Amino acid sequence: MKKLLIGNHAVSYGAMLSRAEVIAAYPITPQTQVVEELAELCASGKLKAQFIKVESEHSAMSACIGAAQAGARAFTATSSQGLALMHEVLHWAANARLPIVMANINRAMAPGWNIWADHIDSLAQRDTGWMQFYAETNQEVLDTIIIAYKVCERVLLPAMINLDAFFLSHTAQSVEIPEQDMVDEFLPPYNPEIKLDPDDPRAFGGLLPPKYYMEMRCKLHSAHRNALKIIEEEEKNFFKIFKRKYGLVDEFYTKDAQIIIVTSSTITSTAREFVMRERKKGRKLGLLKVRVFRPFPFEKIRGALKNCEKLVVIDRNISYGNAGIFATEIKSALYGFRNVPVFGFVAGLGGRDVQLEDIEGMVDFARKKNFSKDEIWWGLKK
Amino acid sequence: MKENQKLPEIVVSSGSMKINKTGSWRNLRPEIDYSKCIRCMICWKFCPDACIKINKEGIKLAPRENLKKEPAPEIDYDYCKGCGICAEECPAKCIAMLKEKK
Amino acid sequence: MRLTIPEEEVLSSGHLACPGCGATLAMRLALKALGRDTIVVIPACCWSTIDGVFPNSALGVPVMHIAFEAAAIAASGIKAGLIAKGNTHTQVMAWAGDGGTFDIGIQALSGAAERNDDIIYVCYDNEAYQNTGIQRSSATPYGAWTTTTPRKHPKQEPKKNIVDIMSAHRIPYIATATIAYPEDFVRKFKKAREIKGTRFIHIFSPCPPGWKMKEQDTVKVSRIAVKSCVFPLFEIEDGKLKINIKPSRRQDVRDYLKLQGRFSHLKEEDIKRIQKEIDKNWQNLLKREEAHEG
């Protein structure tokens, strides 16, 4: 069934169709409709879940950790400051290897207060051990939540589905809502073998001395590496049922492109528009959307960038004192493989619009130069 | 199987701390004088280390005939840390704390 | 033989508690009362060490360790997970120290209590951050030495009244307990087990190294705390307060203080001030009980 859905409701539907069993969430702009819709769905009986209306995001994640350790499918959603407050227990969820799925509405960090889109909130959680997906459309948001549960429960890792504040969260798009029985066919009930169980009493997360600590962390890292393969497998399974696929990355005219634009999230749609316009003019421009950021799809990225001459990476984030994070990681993927000039643009922070003309300007900039040592802050006031 | 492979995928326990013989921590050793012990089990009740066992057969040495077949407390020296709560709380004052020979 | 508390040992020997640890005897008694159909949640506190080292555990029931400030909500999450999976019988007990309850964990605890989440929350109160090496907490009493309240400047503020705070949440069951009265202790946990909603049990839990006292005095100090009304034993059921032990003659607080090196620097005027505070609290408690009876 097709329905006009805002991104936040796509999140709620994704959680409902995944049959989340425990939901714990705390409202924050621009995520509030996720919580409101889930409360409605629970109250109406459409979703049979335990909904804990917690007093903070730290508690939202801690409740999910408890629920998942007890063997239930847990869900939460947050944004920005809320995600930052969760930081400690994000590590906990990943180190405990709990398959929790969370939607994060990407929003800038204060001060000053800013409720609009950028990616610093989620990228600051890069090293917590969570898988990170960045969605371009509301359909992708809904589908990715379902796919993420399947992957998480296979590899024992949590996943964060990121969507841009307002550009997706509050924007209605036509979304195909999958039938429940088809989702059930794809995603079986979650029944882990080892959980909190008085018939099999075990202690979870106790004292872990140096003798074992590294081994356990290496297992977490290996799970990430393995997840690359599992995500692809499950995307194939998803495609068989729903005829939609997304990939670790999405390549658009990359094969013969001289310049490839690298994006994530909603800027991708604008860049895609620009690439199509340029292609009509016969200009060899391509686009690479990085959809899965953790685990980082090194091989896919190398494959997509094997022929181009220059790269334009658009970062809606900044790692202060270094550069845009996607640009930095793309460079690390290319090290020892290809020496291609990477033009890293920092753009769209705090919800500033990145329009066709901006992307055109970035590509022009790259065409004219051979090299840029530093990142370029795009559109700063003169 | 290699050691790393034997480790579980997640940080979860698979055994009991009973492998840890805390008796080696002890400086003072409680000794029950069964000729005075009235089998009240107060020592058992207050042991933080759960290392006073109940000997259901009874112990022949007892202050009174009828106590010989009563269950008696027995200290498990594998685990006793020698805190001395048992001696302090014993109403018959029949537990002595003796210097542990090392 | 007439045992006055359950015989079965759920907590095993071999754990890592200091000799004479009050918090450990408390756990042993609590699990005797609650039995094996119990899940324990432990935030950062002495007990995150006492339970043991990977891959072993001393508790004999399922345990989930969790971050310092999250004991209550992690327990709520577990309970919700169990219910979602059709298990309505297993008790979930959060087991936190005074730091995790009075201080860093009070937000999550207040949240759980306001929602009346179906958990047992236990605070074993050893009156300072003992696991990190005896730093003051808001549960540290007036006049006490800790490493952050040195003898020249001991703690100036009275202990926070956590029971009043929990009582203001109107939860169905609140009790105080101590290891010196195991029968009372076990009875309260068994009663808590039969009640639905948030149940809060405040345990007085002496710490020999932190209180600078003899290891063998743990139970004795607990008993004097009750007899001197430093730590009265009472219950609040559906808002109704009942004092469990009323000493016919209240023991002098000096008997309590002199066993503990953390109070050895106190002057006569300090002791008088402490006694006055105890008297006032006791009178308030008696009045509150009387009001509920009337």
C116 touches chain A (CB under 8 A): no
What are the residues facing A312 on neighbouring strands? A261, A343
Number of B/C CB contacts below 8 angstroms equals 115
**Closest to C137 measured CA to CA, from C210, C30, C226:** C210
Spatial neighbors of A179 by CB under 8 A, at least 6 apart, are A1
Whole-Å CA distances, A349 to A135, A344, A377: 17, 14, 10
- Is residue A144 within 8 Å of A135, Cβ to Cβ? yes
Q: Which residues of B touch A223 (CB under 8 A)?
A: 9
Give the integer Cα–Cα distance in Å for A266 and A278.
Answer: 19
CB contact under 8 A, C15 and B46: no
Average of pLDDT values for A5-24? 98
Q: Are residues A139 and A197 both part of a single domain?
A: yes
Give the integer Cα–Cα distance in Å for C102 and C258.
Answer: 26
- Write down the mean pLDDT value for chain A: 98
Give the integer Cα–Cα distance in Å for A183 and A20.
Answer: 12
Residue boundaries of the structural domains of chain C: 22-293
pLDDT at B5 exceeding the cut of 90 = no
Give the tens place of pLDDT for each residue, A341-382. 999 999 999 999 999 999 999 999 999 999 999 999 999 999
Cβ-nearest to A215 among B4, B12, B14 = B4
Q: Are residues A62 and A108 both part of a single domain?
A: yes
Give the integer Cα–Cα distance in Å for A131 and A291.
Answer: 11
**Closest to C42 measured CA to CA, from C11, C9, C71, C85:** C71
Q: Are residues A237 and A266 both part of a single domain?
A: no
Residues of chain C short of pLDDT 70, as ranges, are 1, 294
- The 3-class secondary structure across A92-157, one letter per residue, is HHHHCCCCCEEEEEECCCCCCCCCCCCCHHHHCCHHHCCEEEECCCHHHHHHHHHHHHHHHHHHCC
Q: What's the pLDDT score for residue C293?
A: 75
Give the integer Cα–Cα distance in Å for A163 and A102.
Answer: 11
Q: What's the pLDDT score for residue C294?
A: 57
Q: Where residue A96 falls among pLDDT bands split at 50, 70, 90?
A: very high
| Sign (positive or negative) of CA dihedral A325, A326, A327, A329 | positive
DSSP code at position C70? G
Chosen domain end from A242, A267, A283: A242
Q: Which residue has the tokens 């055994």?
A: B15
Please enumerate residues of B whose Cβ is less than 8 A from a Cβ of A. Answer: 4, 7-14
Apex C201 CA angle, C103 and C91, nearest 5? 110
CB contact under 8 A, B89 and C219: yes
Give the integer Cα–Cα distance in Å for A195 and C64.
Answer: 10
Q: Are residues A270 and A370 both part of a single domain?
A: yes
Chosen domain end from A190, A221, A242: A242
- Within 10 angstroms of residue A126's Cβ, the number of other Cβ atoms is 15
Q: Are residues A13 and A49 both part of a single domain?
A: yes
Outline where C104-232 has alpha helix (H). 106-114, 162-167, 182-194, 208-211, 218-227
pLDDT at A292 exceeding the cut of 70 = yes
Q: What's the pLDDT score for residue B4?
A: 87
Cβ-nearest to C62 among A21, A198, A209 = A198
- Is residue A169 within 8 Å of A31, Cβ to Cβ? yes
Cβ-nearest to A202 among B7, B9, B12 = B12
Give the tens place of pLDDT for each residue, B55-68. 999 999 999 999 99
Q: Which of B12, B45, B59 to mutate to test the interface with C (most CBs of C within 10 A)?
A: B45
Count of structural domains, chain A: 2
Give the integer Cα–Cα distance in Å for C204 and C226.
Answer: 10
Distance from CA of C61 to the nearest CA of B (A): 11
Distance from CA of B39 to the nearest CA of C (A): 8
Give the tens place of pLDDT for each residue, A145-186. 999 999 999 999 999 999 999 999 999 999 999 999 999 999
Q: Which of C3, C13, C223 to mutate to test the interface with B (most CBs of B within 10 A)?
A: C13
- Within 10 angstroms of residue C284's Cβ, the number of other Cβ atoms is 12
DSSP code at position C129? B
- Within 10 angstroms of residue A322's Cβ, the number of other Cβ atoms is 10
Q: In this structure, what token pair is assigned to residue A128?
A: 């917590």
A156: domain CATH number is 3.40.50.970
State the residue range of the domain holding A82.
2-242
- Is residue C110 within 8 Å of A55, Cβ to Cβ? yes
Please enumerate residues of A whose Cβ is less than 8 A from a Cβ of B. Answer: 95-97, 156, 194, 202-206, 208, 212, 215-216, 219, 223
Q: In this structure, what token pair is assigned to residue C275?
A: 């006694």
- Within 10 angstroms of residue B4's Cβ, the number of other Cβ atoms is 12
Cβ-nearest to C77 among A63, A201, A208 = A63
Q: Which residues of A touch B5 (CB under 8 A)?
A: none
Q: Are residues A289 and A147 both part of a single domain?
A: no
Give the integer Cα–Cα distance in Å for C270 and A190.
Answer: 60
**Closest to C26 measured CA to CA, from C193, C155, C195, C206:** C206
C147 touches chain A (CB under 8 A): no
Q: What's the pLDDT score for residue B1?
A: 73
* Residue C82, SS3 per DSSP: helix
- Is residue A359 within 8 Å of A271, Cβ to Cβ? yes
CB contact under 8 A, A62 and C111: no
Distance from CA of C96 to the nearest CA of A (A): 15
CB contact under 8 A, A202 and B13: yes
Q: In this structure, what token pair is assigned to residue B1?
A: 């199987």
* Residue A309, SS3 per DSSP: coil
The verdict on residue A382 lying in a domain is no
* Residue A252, SS3 per DSSP: strand
Cβ-nearest to A22 among C62, C84, C107 = C84
pLDDT at A253 exceeding the cut of 70 = yes
First to last CA, chain C: 42
**Closest to A256 measured CA to CA, from A278, A231, A233, A232:** A278
Average of pLDDT values for A294-309? 97
pTM of the predicted protein model: 0.98
ipTM of the predicted structure? Answer: 0.97
pLDDT at A187 exceeding the cut of 70 = yes
Q: Are residues A327 and A352 both part of a single domain?
A: yes
Give the tens place of pLDDT for each residue, A101-143. 999 999 999 999 999 999 999 999 999 999 999 999 999 999 9
The verdict on residue A354 lying in a domain is yes
pLDDT at A265 exceeding the cut of 90 = yes
Q: Are residues A296 and A204 both part of a single domain?
A: no
Q: Which residues of C touch A70 (CB under 8 A)?
A: 39, 77-78, 81-82, 85
Q: What's the pLDDT score for residue B2?
A: 86
C63 touches chain A (CB under 8 A): yes
Please enumerate residues of A whose Cβ is less than 8 A from a Cβ of C. Answer: 21-22, 24, 49-50, 52-56, 58-59, 62-74, 88-89, 92, 196-198, 200-209, 212
- The 3-class secondary structure across B15-75, one letter per residue, is EEHHHCCHHHHCCEEEEECCCCCCCCCHHHHCCCCCCEEEECCCCCCCCCHHHCCCCEEEE
Q: Where residue B3 falls among pLDDT bands split at 50, 70, 90?
A: confident
Spatial neighbors of A245 by CB under 8 A, at least 6 apart, are A235, A236, A238, A239
Q: Are residues A216 and A255 both part of a single domain?
A: no
CB contact under 8 A, A219 and B9: yes
For the C22-293 domain, the top CATH level (class) is alpha beta
Q: Which of A98, A156, A202 to mutate to test the interface with B (most CBs of B within 10 A)?
A: A202
Cβ-nearest to A209 among C53, C90, C111 = C53
Give the integer Cα–Cα distance in Å for A99 and A197.
Answer: 18
Q: In this structure, what token pair is assigned to residue A339?
A: 């020496």
Q: Are residues A267 and A235 both part of a single domain?
A: no
- Is residue A109 within 8 Å of A80, Cβ to Cβ? yes
pLDDT at B102 exceeding the cut of 80 = no
CB contact under 8 A, A156 and B9: yes
Which domains does chain B carry? 24-99 (3.30.70.20)
Whole-Å CA distances, C233 to A11, A64, C230: 50, 36, 10
Chains contacting B (3 or more CB pairs within 8 Å): A, C
Chosen domain end from A190, A220, A242: A242
Q: Are residues A348 and A199 both part of a single domain?
A: no
Give the integer Cα–Cα distance in Å for B40 and B90.
Answer: 9
Burial class for A214, CB neighbours closer than 10 Å (0-12, 13-18, 19+): exposed
Average of pLDDT values for A223-228? 98
Q: Are residues A126 and A83 both part of a single domain?
A: yes
pLDDT at B51 exceeding the cut of 90 = yes
Distance from CA of B9 to the nearest CA of C (A): 12
Chains contacting C (3 or more CB pairs within 8 Å): A, B
